[in-house]
Amino acid sequence: QKQIGGSHYKDNFKIQPIEYIQANRMLFEEGCVVKYVSRHSFKNGKEDILKAIQNLEFILERDYNDWQVHQKGYKNKVRRCKL
């Protein structure tokens, strides 16, 4: 699969995260977690880990009605994940 804007997936993995995400029919937030955790040591480091954590908190809010996530102010933030 082609990758636009870098080679951090192509050069470091047997399959790209998007292939895994699509093959397993993952939801948006789960896909973002896979993407950010997979690439953190090759691209944005700590920032990618923080993005993964934020998406895990979105999952807690969405699936488990975790009100702690509301208290942290994530409820109204835009969810951004370019797969």
Cα distance between residue 83 and residue 76, in whole Å? 21
Q: What's the pLDDT tens digit per position in 71-81?
A: 555 544 445 55
Q: What's the pLDDT tens digit per position in 19-37?
A: 999 999 999 999 999 999 9
CA dihedral 67, 68, 73, 75 (to 10 degrees): -40
How far is residue 8 CA from its own chain's centroid?
Answer: 15
CB-CB contact of 32 with 55 (8 Å): yes
Predicted structure pTM score = 0.74
Q: Tokens at residue 82, please?
A: 């370019």
